[in-house]
Amino acid sequence: MSDGFLKKAYGARDAASTRELYNDWAASYDAEVGTNGYATPGRCAEALATYLPDKSLPILDFGCGTGLSGLALKLAGFETIDGLDLSEDMLAQAREKGVYRSLSLIRANAPLSHNPGDYAAIAAIGVIGAGAAPISVFDTLMNGLDKGGMLVFSFNDHALADPENERRLCDWTDCGAAHLLFREYGDHLPGIDLKSNVYVLEKA
Protein backbone atom coordinates (compact mmCIF):
# COMPACT_ATOMS: atom_id res chain seq x y z
CA MET A 1 0.00 0.00 0.00
CA SER A 2 1.26 3.48 -0.85
CA ASP A 3 0.03 6.66 0.76
CA GLY A 4 2.59 9.30 -0.35
CA PHE A 5 0.35 12.10 -1.67
CA LEU A 6 -2.88 10.54 -0.46
CA LYS A 7 -1.75 11.30 3.09
CA LYS A 8 -1.78 15.02 2.45
CA ALA A 9 -4.37 15.24 -0.35
CA TYR A 10 -7.51 15.64 1.72
CA GLY A 11 -6.79 18.84 3.61
CA ALA A 12 -8.65 22.05 2.84
CA ARG A 13 -6.71 24.30 0.45
CA ASP A 14 -7.21 27.16 -1.97
CA ALA A 15 -7.11 26.87 -5.76
CA ALA A 16 -3.43 27.81 -6.10
CA SER A 17 -2.26 25.17 -3.64
CA THR A 18 -4.68 22.62 -5.14
CA ARG A 19 -3.06 23.20 -8.54
CA GLU A 20 0.39 22.90 -6.95
CA LEU A 21 -0.58 19.65 -5.19
CA TYR A 22 -1.76 18.06 -8.45
CA ASN A 23 1.17 19.37 -10.48
CA ASP A 24 3.50 17.73 -7.95
CA TRP A 25 1.43 14.53 -7.83
CA ALA A 26 0.93 14.12 -11.61
CA ALA A 27 3.88 11.81 -12.31
CA SER A 28 3.08 9.36 -9.49
CA TYR A 29 -0.74 9.73 -9.26
CA ASP A 30 -1.69 6.69 -11.39
CA ALA A 31 0.71 4.40 -9.54
CA GLU A 32 -0.40 5.59 -6.10
CA VAL A 33 -4.15 5.44 -6.63
CA GLY A 34 -3.77 2.25 -8.69
CA THR A 35 -1.92 0.51 -5.85
CA ASN A 36 -4.78 1.49 -3.57
CA GLY A 37 -7.41 0.02 -5.91
CA TYR A 38 -9.00 3.26 -7.21
CA ALA A 39 -12.51 2.03 -8.04
CA THR A 40 -14.65 5.15 -8.44
CA PRO A 41 -13.92 5.91 -12.14
CA GLY A 42 -15.11 2.45 -13.21
CA ARG A 43 -18.18 2.66 -10.95
CA CYS A 44 -19.10 6.12 -12.34
CA ALA A 45 -18.56 5.09 -15.95
CA GLU A 46 -20.73 1.99 -15.59
CA ALA A 47 -23.47 3.97 -13.84
CA LEU A 48 -23.52 6.59 -16.61
CA ALA A 49 -23.52 3.89 -19.29
CA THR A 50 -26.72 2.47 -17.78
CA TYR A 51 -28.58 5.77 -18.20
CA LEU A 52 -26.99 7.04 -21.41
CA PRO A 53 -27.27 4.24 -23.96
CA ASP A 54 -26.04 6.29 -26.95
CA LYS A 55 -22.28 6.09 -26.39
CA SER A 56 -21.50 8.30 -29.38
CA LEU A 57 -22.79 11.39 -27.56
CA PRO A 58 -19.96 13.67 -26.33
CA ILE A 59 -19.06 13.70 -22.61
CA LEU A 60 -17.16 16.39 -20.71
CA ASP A 61 -14.74 14.95 -18.12
CA PHE A 62 -14.35 17.86 -15.69
CA GLY A 63 -11.29 17.52 -13.43
CA CYS A 64 -10.01 14.78 -15.73
CA GLY A 65 -6.65 14.64 -13.95
CA THR A 66 -4.27 12.12 -15.51
CA GLY A 67 -7.11 10.63 -17.52
CA LEU A 68 -8.08 7.63 -15.37
CA SER A 69 -11.68 8.87 -15.47
CA GLY A 70 -11.56 9.28 -19.26
CA LEU A 71 -10.08 5.83 -19.61
CA ALA A 72 -12.91 4.35 -17.53
CA LEU A 73 -15.51 6.21 -19.65
CA LYS A 74 -13.83 4.91 -22.81
CA LEU A 75 -13.82 1.36 -21.46
CA ALA A 76 -17.55 1.73 -20.70
CA GLY A 77 -18.07 2.49 -24.39
CA PHE A 78 -18.14 6.30 -24.59
CA GLU A 79 -16.50 7.37 -27.83
CA THR A 80 -16.10 11.14 -27.57
CA ILE A 81 -14.64 12.60 -24.37
CA ASP A 82 -13.23 16.08 -23.75
CA GLY A 83 -11.21 16.79 -20.60
CA LEU A 84 -10.75 19.91 -18.47
CA ASP A 85 -8.42 20.35 -15.51
CA LEU A 86 -6.82 22.95 -13.29
CA SER A 87 -3.36 21.32 -13.43
CA GLU A 88 -1.24 21.43 -16.57
CA ASP A 89 0.90 18.52 -15.35
CA MET A 90 -2.15 16.30 -14.79
CA LEU A 91 -3.34 17.26 -18.31
CA ALA A 92 0.05 16.27 -19.74
CA GLN A 93 -0.39 12.79 -18.25
CA ALA A 94 -3.95 12.63 -19.60
CA ARG A 95 -2.70 13.47 -23.08
CA GLU A 96 -0.54 10.33 -23.02
CA LYS A 97 -3.59 8.12 -22.44
CA GLY A 98 -4.84 8.97 -25.93
CA VAL A 99 -8.53 8.69 -24.99
CA TYR A 100 -9.61 12.35 -25.23
CA ARG A 101 -10.83 14.32 -28.24
CA SER A 102 -9.54 17.50 -26.58
CA LEU A 103 -7.87 18.49 -23.33
CA SER A 104 -7.91 22.03 -21.92
CA LEU A 105 -6.74 23.93 -18.91
CA ILE A 106 -9.44 25.67 -16.85
CA ARG A 107 -9.00 28.32 -14.17
CA ALA A 108 -10.59 27.70 -10.76
CA ASN A 109 -14.05 29.28 -10.59
CA ALA A 110 -14.12 29.90 -14.35
CA PRO A 111 -17.51 29.38 -16.03
CA LEU A 112 -17.75 26.54 -18.51
CA SER A 113 -17.32 27.85 -22.03
CA HIS A 114 -19.05 25.16 -24.11
CA ASN A 115 -22.23 25.80 -26.09
CA PRO A 116 -25.69 24.30 -25.47
CA GLY A 117 -25.90 20.92 -27.15
CA ASP A 118 -22.17 20.22 -26.91
CA TYR A 119 -22.39 17.57 -24.18
CA ALA A 120 -24.97 14.94 -23.25
CA ALA A 121 -23.28 14.44 -19.89
CA ILE A 122 -20.62 15.84 -17.60
CA ALA A 123 -18.45 13.69 -15.33
CA ALA A 124 -16.79 14.97 -12.15
CA ILE A 125 -15.12 11.85 -10.81
CA GLY A 126 -13.16 12.29 -7.58
CA VAL A 127 -13.26 16.05 -8.16
CA ILE A 128 -15.52 17.74 -5.59
CA GLY A 129 -14.53 17.74 -1.93
CA ALA A 130 -11.66 18.36 0.45
CA GLY A 131 -8.37 18.43 -1.43
CA ALA A 132 -9.90 19.18 -4.82
CA ALA A 133 -12.71 21.43 -6.09
CA PRO A 134 -15.13 23.36 -3.83
CA ILE A 135 -18.87 22.57 -3.84
CA SER A 136 -19.57 25.76 -5.83
CA VAL A 137 -18.28 23.74 -8.82
CA PHE A 138 -21.36 21.54 -8.50
CA ASP A 139 -23.64 24.44 -9.48
CA THR A 140 -21.28 25.40 -12.31
CA LEU A 141 -21.55 21.88 -13.71
CA MET A 142 -25.33 21.66 -13.32
CA ASN A 143 -25.71 25.04 -14.99
CA GLY A 144 -23.51 23.76 -17.83
CA LEU A 145 -25.92 20.90 -18.62
CA ASP A 146 -28.73 21.04 -21.13
CA LYS A 147 -32.24 19.97 -20.10
CA GLY A 148 -32.11 16.16 -19.95
CA GLY A 149 -28.30 16.22 -19.61
CA MET A 150 -26.67 14.07 -16.96
CA LEU A 151 -24.06 14.66 -14.29
CA VAL A 152 -22.15 11.63 -13.01
CA PHE A 153 -20.03 12.42 -9.99
CA SER A 154 -18.72 11.10 -6.71
CA PHE A 155 -18.34 12.22 -3.12
CA ASN A 156 -15.80 10.24 -1.11
CA ASP A 157 -16.09 9.74 2.66
CA HIS A 158 -14.31 13.05 3.29
CA ALA A 159 -16.77 14.90 1.05
CA LEU A 160 -19.70 13.06 2.65
CA ALA A 161 -18.51 14.16 6.09
CA ASP A 162 -19.33 17.76 5.15
CA PRO A 163 -23.16 17.98 5.06
CA GLU A 164 -22.97 21.03 2.78
CA ASN A 165 -21.98 18.78 -0.14
CA GLU A 166 -25.05 16.51 -0.21
CA ARG A 167 -27.19 19.50 0.78
CA ARG A 168 -26.21 21.20 -2.49
CA LEU A 169 -27.37 18.12 -4.39
CA CYS A 170 -30.71 18.26 -2.52
CA ASP A 171 -31.06 21.95 -3.46
CA TRP A 172 -31.41 20.74 -7.06
CA THR A 173 -33.48 17.60 -6.48
CA ASP A 174 -35.89 18.92 -3.81
CA CYS A 175 -37.30 21.63 -6.11
CA GLY A 176 -37.44 19.30 -9.12
CA ALA A 177 -34.63 21.04 -11.03
CA ALA A 178 -32.88 17.67 -11.26
CA HIS A 179 -33.76 14.02 -10.76
CA LEU A 180 -31.53 11.59 -8.90
CA LEU A 181 -31.31 8.50 -11.12
CA PHE A 182 -28.63 6.62 -9.19
CA ARG A 183 -26.79 6.69 -5.88
CA GLU A 184 -24.56 3.89 -4.68
CA TYR A 185 -22.08 3.66 -1.82
CA GLY A 186 -19.03 1.50 -2.55
CA ASP A 187 -15.27 1.28 -2.86
CA HIS A 188 -13.24 4.40 -3.62
CA LEU A 189 -9.68 3.58 -2.51
CA PRO A 190 -9.95 0.26 -0.67
CA GLY A 191 -6.20 0.30 0.06
CA ILE A 192 -6.76 3.18 2.49
CA ASP A 193 -10.27 2.01 3.43
CA LEU A 194 -11.99 4.96 1.76
CA LYS A 195 -15.41 4.64 0.14
CA SER A 196 -17.53 6.93 -2.01
CA ASN A 197 -21.03 7.60 -3.20
CA VAL A 198 -21.49 7.59 -6.97
CA TYR A 199 -24.43 9.61 -8.31
CA VAL A 200 -26.15 10.11 -11.64
CA LEU A 201 -28.35 13.21 -11.83
CA GLU A 202 -30.54 14.25 -14.74
CA LYS A 203 -31.26 17.94 -15.23
CA ALA A 204 -34.99 18.58 -15.53
Ligand X SMILES: C[S@@+](CC[C@H](N)C(=O)[O-])C[C@H]1O[C@@H](n2cnc3c(N)ncnc32)[C@H](O)[C@@H]1O
Task: Give me the residues that bind ligand X (CB under 6 A), please.
Answer: 18, 22, 41, 63-65, 68-69, 85-87, 90, 106, 108, 125-127, 132-133, 137
CA distance 50 to 184: 13
Secondary structure (3-state) at 174: helix
Residue 90 corresponds to which amino acid?
M
For residue 100, the minimal CB distance to ligand X (Å) is 12
For residue 108, the minimal CB distance to ligand X (Å) is 4
Contact 73, 47 (CB under 8 A): no
* Position of minimal CB gap to ligand X: 65
Cβ closest to ligand X, residue 158 vs residue 203: 158
Contact 48, 121 (CB under 8 A): yes
Cβ closest to ligand X, residue 100 vs residue 172: 100
Bridging pattern class, strands 194-203 and 178-189: antiparallel
For residue 44, the minimal CB distance to ligand X (Å) is 8
For residue 50, the minimal CB distance to ligand X (Å) is 19
